């Protein structure tokens, strides 16, 4: 199932401390990793540039295997509280550092480096592997081994070509309406104003090959408020309530993401 979520750049507006903002992003990333979310779309919802930049940075940081982080993320104030983030421990992060265990077909994340005028890829095995792809020096890439130890040969592939879930991509969008309007698949808009979700309502979409986008509102505004009068112009979408009879006044964004993805996952495999 090709699954994506959309969250606003105002997602952190209910937190004042950078420590709490960092923790919240860690919980969102963990939920997306658990339930194999392919893309996290961050759509603009007002003047939230600082929070948007923090969201982009920390989510990309979390999706990056630990051995690549020092190369790709220099010391910066935005990552001051990165120590509170729980590792994702997805397949792309749990890889051996022993070159002798690398075999044909293995997939790794790496970074393109230059050595003696030639391109190599550092995949965390204390040995550089020659690289013939088109990525520039300093870029992160996904590779597959065409030959294993000791005569390594690799080729670049996409995350979608990896044999298992290989992490999420983080993408920006100018506004929510354009994101939904241009989406080539089925859209689920989460709202307490929607119909109570049932397996029958969404099972045919969960079992098809079409991509699914799940849209969330902000701590201050629901999706109806964010879209305003444009809600009635949306096609191929359902407005669903995943938390009927809630006892709390509100459901926090990180809770909504985890709960919604849990229900969808149960319906998909059930």
Question: Among candidates 216, 249, 236, which has minimal Cα distance to 31?
Answer: 216
Q: End of a domain among 139, 161, 183?
A: 161
Specify if 191 maps to a domain: yes
Residue 133's pLDDT is what?
87
156 assigned to some structural domain: yes
211-228, pLDDT tens digit by residue? 999 999 999 999 999 998
Phi-psi region at 122: left, alpha or beta (left = phi > 0; alpha = psi -120 to 50): beta
Between 135 and 21, residue with greater pLDDT: 21
Residue 268's pLDDT band, with cuts at 50, 70 and 90, is: confident
Among 129, 161, 193, give the residue marking a domain's end.
161
Give the mean pLDDT of the chain.
94
178 and 264 housed in the same domain: yes
164-197 tens-digit pLDDT: 999 999 999 999 999 999 999 999 999 998 999 9
Residues 17 and 105 in one domain: no
Q: What is the CATH number of the domain that holds 226?
A: 3.40.1280.10
Q: Does any domain span residue 94?
A: no
**pLDDT tens digits, one per residue of 136-160:** 999 999 999 999 999 999 999 998 8
- Least confident span in 7-21, 51-65, 74-88, 234-248: 234-248
Kindly indicate the confidence band of residue 231, based on its pLDDT and cuts at 50, 70 and 90: confident
- Note the pLDDT of residue 269: 62
186 and 265 fall within a common domain: yes
Residues 183 and 265 in one domain: yes
Encode pLDDT of 241-255 as tens digits: 999 999 998 899 999
Residues 139 and 187 in one domain: no
List all residues 6 or more positions away from 68 whose beta carbon is below 8 Å from its beta carbon: 109, 110, 111, 122, 124, 140
Q: Assess whether 244 and 136 both reside in one domain.
A: no
Domain-located, residue 30: yes
How far, in Å, CA of 111 to CA of 138, rounded?
Answer: 6
Structurally, the chain folds into a number of domains equal to 2
Query: Do 199 and 81 share a domain, yes or no?
Result: yes
**Domain coverage including residue 221:** 3-89+169-269
- How far does Cα 80 stand from its chain's mean position? 21
111 and 188 in a single domain? The answer is no
Considering the domain architecture, whether residues 192 and 255 belong to the same structural domain is answered as yes
Residues 157 and 173 in one domain: no
The domain boundary, picked from 118, 139, 161, lies at 161
The tens digit of pLDDT for each residue in 95-133 reads: 899 999 999 999 999 999 999 999 999 999 989 999 998
Q: What is the DSSP string of the chain?
A: --EEEEEETTTTTT--SHHHHHHHHHHHHHHHHHTT--EEEEE--SS-HHHHHHHHHHHHHHHS-HHHHHHH----GGGTTGGGPPP---TTTS----GGG--TT-EEEEEEEEETTEEEEE-SSSS-EE--SSPPTT-EEEEEEEE-SSS-EEEEE-GGGSSS----EEEEES-HHHHHHH-SSEEEEEEEEEEEP-HHHHHHHHTSSS-EEEE---SS--HHHHHGGGGGG--SEEEEESSTT-SSS---HHHHHHHHHHHHHHHHH-
Exposed/middle/buried for residue 176 (C-beta within 10 Å: 0-12, 13-18, 19+): buried
For position 144, which CATH number holds? 2.40.50.140
């Amino acid at each position: 199932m090709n699954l994506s979520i959309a969250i606003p750049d105002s997602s952190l507006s209910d937190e004042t401390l950078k420590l709490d903002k960092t923790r919240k992003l860690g919980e969102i990333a963990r939920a997306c990793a658990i339930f194999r979310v392919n893309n996290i779309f961050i759509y603009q919802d007002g003047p939230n540039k600082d929070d948007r930049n923090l969201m982009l940075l920390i989510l990309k940081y979390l999706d990056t295997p630990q051995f690549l982080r020092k190369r790709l993320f220099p010391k910066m104030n935005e990552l001051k509280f990165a120590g509170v983030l729980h590792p994702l421990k997805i397949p792309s992060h749990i890889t051996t550092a022993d070159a002798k265990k690398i075999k044909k077909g293995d997939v790794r994340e790496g970074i393109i480096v230059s050595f003696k005028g030639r391109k190599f890829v550092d995949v965390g095995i204390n040995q550089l592997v020659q690289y013939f792809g088109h990525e520039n020096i300093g870029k992160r890439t996904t590779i597959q081994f065409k030959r294993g130890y000791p005569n390594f040969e690799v080729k670049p592939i996409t995350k979608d070509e990896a044999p298992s879930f290989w992490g999420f991509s983080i993408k920006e969008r100018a506004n929510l309406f354009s994101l939904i309007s241009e989406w080539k698949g089925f859209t689920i808009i989460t709202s307490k104003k929607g119909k109570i979700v049932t397996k029958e309502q969404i099972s045919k979409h969960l079992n098809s090959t079409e991509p699914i986008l799940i849209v969330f509102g902000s701590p201050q505004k629901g999706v109806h408020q964010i879209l305003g009068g444009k809600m009635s112009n949306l096609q191929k979408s359902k407005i669903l309530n995943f938390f009927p009879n809630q006892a709390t006044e509100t459901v926090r964004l990180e809770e909504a993401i985890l709960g919604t993805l849990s229900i969808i996952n149960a319906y998909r495999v059930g």
